[in-house]
A = this chain, B = another copy of it.
Amino acid sequence: MDTRERILNSAKLVFSQRGREGARMQEIADLAGVNKAMLFYYFTSKDKLYEDVLRNIMTHLFMNINNVTTSAVKPESKIEKIVETYVDLMNKNPYIPGIIIAEVASGADTLKKLLAELKDSAEFTLPQNIKQIFIHGKQDHRFRGIDVEQTILSILGMCVIYFIGKPLVNDILKINGEDESKFLRRRVKHIIDLLENGILIRK
């Protein structure tokens, strides 16, 4: 792996654990096994590095979920697939929630800037695509007359909460490494169950 990429990966981790300000350039450099000056050589400043990390994450995130929404199956399955993909993505990239959450907590200025950039690009149809799933589901009389935006927010909340609270949840529920994948499978199943029995019309 080349230097630039190693820095970016280390930065993801350190930013997610220490926060934007708590992160130390030296720690990122050490983790990447690189001289500190290299961070500035490739990324100019801490702020720019942070911005690049965020851009990298968001692009990754959008790409993954958009794949799902464009596959042609019935709305329930799409929603199920979104939940699965989302949880799986967080699980495989544990730094994602930390960074995004810290960013949003501090006003999300950088993220807003980024989204404004992406808005014009072709990829950025994600929110609309997800909305469409629900609208179609309602038209086809598969979903109840639920509030689409609220429901999306709820799904997001249910998917994300474990990863946000991970250290604490694991501490309280006593989940150790080996059990985690099992726990996550149970979590996905539960979210889908709770969700569907809430939004599906029963005949």
**A interface, CB within 8 angstroms of B:** 16-22, 97-98, 101-102, 104-108, 111-112, 127, 144, 146-147, 149-151, 153-154, 156-162, 164-169, 171-173, 186-187, 190-191, 193-199, 202
Contacts and interface: CB of A to CB of B under 8 A. Distances in A.
A187 B150 contact: yes
Contact of A151 (B19, B157, B162, B190): B190
A194 B190 contact: no
Contacts of A149: 173
Contact of A154 (B106, B158, B197): B158
A113 to B, nearest CB: 11
Mostly, the A contact residues are helix
Given A101-B101, A153-B162, A191-B154, A20 B17 contact: no
A22 B106 contact: yes
A168 B12 CA distance: 21
A104 to B, nearest CB: 5
Contacts of A98: 105-106
16 contacts: A18-B106, A21-B21, A21-B22, A22-B106, A108-B171, A112-B171, A144-B197, A151-B190, A153-B161, A154-B194, A157-B158, A157-B159, A157-B162, A196-B198, A197-B198, A197-B199
